Amino acid sequence: MEETHVRILEESLARHYPDAAGTGFADVFNNGTEDSAARSGEMVRRLVALERSQPQDEQAAYSKAVLTTIYFIYASYTDAGRFDLARRFLEASNSWKFIRRRERPLLAASLQWRWPGAAGFAILKEVDRLAARIRYPRAGKLVPELDNLRSLAPDGQP
């Protein structure tokens, strides 16, 4: 799935933002190397450089798209346990400021001690999951008749 998104992004860049294309970004997940992380960082830097040249009414959307790209690449590396590449990408793209402060020391630690960094990220994900569960009420609390509605659904349907 990630590879498909990366291909679509690279095709869109080539079509709409040729100045940001051509970094070899499309193989970023196939060849998980320092070089591919640096190339993805270069692509982000090119996108950021193009931000001011966007039409005024499109700049906010463009900025959000760049941030989404940063988070997508970063999350892909960390989800795969490639903290070294996540760190290299952040350095190459100058994107440290977009990463949560509590994740920064984990990235630093993961360079010297791989398993504590991975364990730290696993703990953070669990904390985030629990916080979301507390923050967002269950659907049954929002829709009191939900169980009755579900009982009307055909078998196997939610």
* C-beta separation of 140 from 146 below 8 A: yes
What is the tens place of the pLDDT at every residue in 14-50? 888 777 776 666 666 666 788 888 888 998 999 999 8
Residues 57-106 have pLDDT tens digits of 988 999 999 999 999 988 888 888 888 888 889 999 999 899 888 788 77
- Residue whose pair of structure tokens reads 């941030």 in the numeric block: 67
